Amino acid sequence: MTEHDALRERLGRRGIDSDAVEAALRSLVIETPSWGYGDSGTRFGVFPQPGRPRSVFERVDDAAEVHRLTGTAGAVALHFPWDSVSDVTELAGHIHAAGLGVGAVNPNLFQDPDYVLGSVTHPDAAIRAKAVEHLLECVEIATALGSTAQSLWLADGINYPGQDDLVERRERMVEALAHVYAALPAEQEYLVEYKLFEPAFYATDLADWGSALLVCQRLGERARVLVDMGHHAQGVNVEQIVSILASEERLGGFHFNNRKYADDDLIVGSVNPFELFLVFCELVGSGRPLPRLTIDQSHNIEAKVEAMVMSVVNIQDAYARALIVDREALRSAGARGDVLDGHRILLDAYNTDVRPLCASARQALGAAEDPVAALRASGRFDRIAAERADAGGAR
Ligand code: RM4
Ligand code: MN
Ligand code: MN
């Protein structure tokens, strides 16, 4: 008996339909970030890697390789102006030809020197207008690319108490974002990301899920909160945030990554796989379709394509474990007030080796049984390093 058969039999005895689990795994779509393939580093330095992409087109090619190996990374999220091109239609054509869909469009309001005091919260109306102009341009780019989401992270905030008026900053922000939201075509959703700190160190204008939710409620129904796993204080119960936003129908999606200390952007599921599992338990338990699932990572020392492949595999694994939770038994344990039975039920799913189910789903998609092994065996890293040997500080 293969490991796959043995697992299916064991799950069958627990009343779990493995066919349904594999079907759900096959329909999982993860967006990988174009910015996760280019050079990145810490504020202390950047270590350029051999084979790093020289253009957005090559970043898309790397994303396509991740999809080819995993079967689940079917879209690429874009960041502007990092991914700016003279011909947007050509970029859309390249993405589709690579077998991918266009993911969310991410505006960038954090690098222009004009934004030193903020973008849509800036005290100067002219700077706010410039930020709004970029946001509107991103709506146009998304429309031309056929993207269905704007995904906004604001770096705005202040470093010192008294630096600016917190209430006024918030009103400036809502006014600017409402302007952009009004220009949004019906097929685009507006995802609002929050982050506790960094680059601002005293007060971030969108610091937590509550602030983001309140802004979304002021904007309209298509505005939803985006949860980045690394954007909370230590110890915050992220899965509970997921459950609240999902039941309020305001969960827009995720930026998956993992961290030990701050916004470390490490491989999702690498430091705290149990948290990732619990997040998927809330998503599955909500009974709603999965929201937009995106990876937002920065691979500073690890090989980038391999790191992205591992990330997608970790997500498949966490999702599979959440899908095999005995939901009925869980409900009954809660209803009976049995303190530990529900916990045991979760642990039973978490401690199950679901890799044969994931491998089978990947094979059915024409992807690799073991994506990391297949990538290593393919020799792609060396081939691409030779092909892109002339890479000169791409971004
Ligand atoms: C931020 C945030 C954003 C991402 C940038 C690069 O910390 O997570 O989503 O676009 O980093
Ligand atoms: Mn993010
Ligand atoms: Mn981040």
pLDDT single digits (tens) 361-375: 999 999 999 999 999
State how far the Cα of 309 lies from the Cα of 60, in Å rounded to an integer.
Answer: 14
Q: Is the CB of 83 within 6 Å of ligand 1?
A: no
Q: Which residues surround ligand 3, an ion (CB under 5 A)?
A: 263
pLDDT tens-digit readout, 216-240: 999 999 999 999 999 999 999 999 9
Q: Is the pLDDT of residue 392 over 90?
A: no
What is the arithmetic mean of pLDDT over 179-201?
98
Helix ranges (H only) for the chain are 3-13, 18-27, 56-70, 88-97, 125-145, 166-182, 209-219, 238-247, 273-285, 304-323, 327-336, 341-350, 355-364, 371-378, 380-387
Find the ligand nearest to 154 CA: 1
The residue behind tokens 């309209």 is 220
State how far the Cα of 23 lies from the Cα of 87, in Å rounded to an integer.
Answer: 38
Find the ligand nearest to 199 CA: 1
State how far the Cα of 15 lies from the Cα of 176, in Å rounded to an integer.
Answer: 52
Q: Is the pLDDT of residue 47 over 50?
A: yes
Q: Is the pLDDT of residue 395 over 80?
A: no
Q: Of 303, 306, 280, which Cα lies nearest the Cα of 291?
A: 280
What is the arithmetic mean of pLDDT over 32-39?
96
Give me 204's structure tokens.
């971030």
Q: Is the CB of 282 within 6 Å of ligand 1?
A: no
Please state the pTM of the whole predicted model.
0.97
Q: Is the CB of 263 within 6 Å of ligand 1?
A: yes
Task: Return the exposure string of 114-150: e unless at least 16 CB atoms fall within 10 Å of the residue's CB, then b.
Answer: ebebbbbbbeeeebbebbbebbeebbebbbebebbbb
pLDDT tens-digit readout, 318-353: 999 999 999 999 999 999 999 999 999 999 999 999
At 391, the pLDDT band (50, 70, 90 cuts) reads low
Q: Is the CB of 255 within 6 Å of ligand 1?
A: yes
Class of residue 30 by CB neighbours under 10 A (exposed 0-12, middle 13-18, buried 19+): buried
CA of 197 to the centre of ligand 3 (A): 10
Tally of residues, the chain: 395
* Ligand 1 atom closest to 198 (CA): 7
Could you tell me what percent of the chain has a pLDDT over 90? 98
Q: With contact defined as beta carbons under 8 Å apart, do 36 and 304 qualify?
A: yes
Site to substitute for ligand 1 among 195, 227, 231, 256, most atoms within 8 A of C-beta: 195
pLDDT of residue 390: 81
**Distance between the two ends of the chain, CA-based, in angstroms?**
50
Which residues, other chains included, contact 67 with Cβ-Cβ below 8 Å and sequence gap of 6+?
32, 73, 74, 99, 100, 367
Class of residue 58 by CB neighbours under 10 A (exposed 0-12, middle 13-18, buried 19+): buried
Residue 193 forms beta bridges with which residues? 153, 226
Range 56-61 contact pairs with CB under 8 angstroms and sequence separation of 24 or more: 56/82, 56/83, 56/84, 56/85, 56/91, 57/91, 57/94, 58/388, 58/394, 59/34, 59/35, 59/83, 60/34, 60/91, 60/94, 60/95, 60/98, 60/100, 61/98
* Residue 296 phi, psi (nearest 5): -130, 90
pLDDT tens-digit readout, 292-326: 999 999 999 999 999 999 999 999 999 999 999 99
Q: With contact defined as beta carbons under 8 Å apart, do 328 and 288 qualify?
A: no
The residue behind tokens 């690579």 is 98
